[in-house]
Structure 1
Amino acid sequence: MNRSNSGANLPTLRSHNAALVLDLLRAAGECGISRLELAERTGLTPQAVSKITARLRAEGLAAGAGHRASTGGKPRTVLRLVPDAGHAVGLHLDRDELTAVLVD
């Protein structure tokens, strides 16, 4: 085993995991989704989800959306995407035309 490459894919893995969480936050809409639900749906550990969501909150991409009742213990904090936090531009260049898209 070549140990010099053992951490080479860590940034890629982090990006992939963050993309999974972002996609679920996007799909949840304004109602939001709890960290526990994110962990269950992504297969990530609750600790990993907490780190990812903390990073997304610090970057202004996610915010609290209230609380949900719990079946035991403290109420679950619900998170949602911040709609105005970012935009993306897509371009498709073809021989005869250019298509541009701007989305939030």
Structure 2
Amino acid sequence: MTQLKKIRVHPLAFESFGVRSMCTYVETPDIKVLLDAGVALGPNRFGFPPHPREYAALKERREIIVKTAEKADVVTISHYHFDHHTPSFTDWANLWSSA
């Protein structure tokens, strides 16, 4: 029987952090993978624009994703919604899209 080695799972950007995302970093003894390296805000959720705290969370989470991407062996994008893929890290006001 093969023994499982240590697997670490780090949620980097999720709704509970104040942003739209599911960015996750997974580290095993063999490989480091960054899943869905994007982060966004929801435009006009419940009729309201993003709160200033959400913009602060977006900046913070994006910085964490960039730093984590530098140490990852593999970076994946499951699909091209902005909460899973951020095409421009210079566009700080990147808003979620259902397109």
Same fold (TM over 0.5): no
Q: Which is higher, the Rg of structure 1 or of structure 2?
A: 1
Work out which structure has the larger RCO, using CA pairs closer than 8 Å and 6 or more positions apart in sequence: 2
Higher relative helix content: 1
Higher relative strand content: 1
**If the length of structure 1 is used for normalisation, what is the TM-score?**
0.30
